[in-house]
Amino acid sequence: MNLTTEQQSILDGSKGEYLAKCMRWLVQWGDVMGAEGLIKCDNTHALLPVPNLMARNASDDTMRSYMADLKQACEHRTAEGCYCTLHAAFVTFEDVDVPENDPEQVAMQKELADLAANAGFIPTFTCAPYLVGNVPVRGEVCAWTESSAVVYANTILGARTTRHGTESAIAASLLGLVPEYGVLLDENRKGSLRVEVTANLTHPTDWGALGYFAGKEAGLGIPVFNGCRRPSQDEAKQLCAALATSGGVTMAHIVGVTPEARTLEDAFQDEVPEETILFDNETLRAQYESLRQITGDEIDACILGCPHASIRELAEIAHLLKGKKVADGVRLWVDTARGTKGNADAMGYTKIIEDAGGTILTETCPTNMRIPAKRIITHGFKQAHYSRGMIECESIIAKTDACVRSAVAGKWLGD
């Protein structure tokens, strides 16, 4: 890669060992990806996770060196002019009565959160930063972790970010630079797969089904959705999360919605393919069926808010639960950002959900915490997909009202 004199001097150690290491990460990564240089990065969403010992089987030594590295990162300041927020953690700082919220892990994560805040990171602790104030504008160059948020930033906001991991996002935050490759460049934002949508999409989970289908078909490509109406924010959230679950999608185009895709021609940069794949009502149903193979009806967890719930979803869940009780033996979790929970507290939604026996979980989610469950029900395709591997449970995908009805009944009642 071509480096400026200043970048080369940082690489050579002029600003200390840690920033030289950050520069080395970016340069090596850029070289591998074929970048010609580094460009200014305006916005990051970084992951500073304390590895969960139980989930990842990290040794004490690994934990110590990992923590030491993250603490070293936090001895620096985030780059001037770069807006940096923090991704969800593996634990919650709330007092929940599950052994998985190991106090030692919580203490370490809290320590890290304080250090990161001093370094200039805004500790949003969410997988949906665009719901709590990190809303980049069209064209803004970002370095975001969290695959669902990456797709949302590129597809819905028209911002530009490749998929980042912990180290690259920290390096981008401290240096304010990213290697210029992939969807940061116009030519790499061209659609690769045309999806004609004729299905009747009536709920955010239906949009999750569309994303789950298209992610499988697109792989690492860029699907272009044609024929569908404009999604709501919650619908777009589910679409983007599912695209990055079944596939390695970094961005999609929704014709007439994605800022740079006013038309099909725009989305394909004037080379519209003849070949299309169809997403009709039958394909929609098939996505639900693919995450409903179960060996019994009883459920022991209902997980709502994947990605983290918006205030609108919390209002809906409170409305559905008002005056009801979650069945004995069922845990109902609603995952959200602490900022959104603050709003829900003020608006009375938290009380309604808690009175019904539910728990609002902030900073993390049951899947990240590996909360044990045998059979869960959820409205998020991402949660339904990953919980099967990460919690090793059976999962049922359903719309929000069906999830809540089943949680109250203690068993899957169907749509």
Give me the residues that bind ligand F3S (CB under 6 A), please.
Answer: 88, 127, 148, 241, 306-308, 335, 365, 367-368, 382-383, 386
The smaller minimum CB distance to ligand F3S, of residues 226 and 387, is found at 387
The smaller minimum CB distance to ligand F3S, of residues 370 and 375, is found at 370
**Exposure letters 176-198 (e unless 16+ CB within 10 A, then b):** bbbbbbbbbeeeebbbebbbebe
> 212 and 408 in contact (C-beta within 8 Å)?
no
Judged by phi (left if over 0) then psi (alpha if -120 to 50, else beta), residue 219 lies in left
Report in angstroms how near the CB of residue 406 gets to ligand F3S at its nearest. Answer: 19
The count of C-alpha atoms lying within 13 angstroms of the C-alpha of 196, restricted to the half-sphere facing its C-beta, is 8
Phi, psi of 380 (to 5 degrees): -110, 125
Report in angstroms how near the CB of residue 413 gets to ligand F3S at its nearest. Answer: 24
The smaller minimum CB distance to ligand F3S, of residues 141 and 157, is found at 157
Report in angstroms how near the CB of residue 151 gets to ligand F3S at its nearest. Answer: 11
Q: How far apart are CA 86 and CA 10, in angstroms?
A: 25
Q: How far apart are CA 98 and CA 106, in angstroms?
A: 12
For residue 207, which of 178, 243, 171, 173 has the smallest C-alpha distance?
243
The smaller minimum CB distance to ligand F3S, of residues 38 and 47, is found at 47
String of DSSP letters for 256-274: TTSTT-SSHHHHTTT---S
The smaller minimum CB distance to ligand F3S, of residues 320 and 365, is found at 365
The smaller minimum CB distance to ligand F3S, of residues 180 and 234, is found at 234
Report in angstroms how near the CB of residue 267 gets to ligand F3S at its nearest. Answer: 26
Report in angstroms how near the CB of residue 142 gets to ligand F3S at its nearest. Answer: 17
β-pair type (177-179, 38-40)? antiparallel
Report in angstroms how near the CB of residue 271 gets to ligand F3S at its nearest. Answer: 33
Q: Is 372 helix (H, G, I), strand (E, B) or coil?
A: coil
The smaller minimum CB distance to ligand F3S, of residues 191 and 247, is found at 247
Helix (H) or strand (E) run with residue 301 in it? strand 301-309
The smaller minimum CB distance to ligand F3S, of residues 23 and 306, is found at 306
Distances 97 to 71, 102, 337, 372 between C-alpha atoms, Å:
29, 10, 19, 13
Report in angstroms how near the CB of residue 18 gets to ligand F3S at its nearest. Answer: 27
Report in angstroms how near the CB of residue 13 gets to ligand F3S at its nearest. Answer: 36
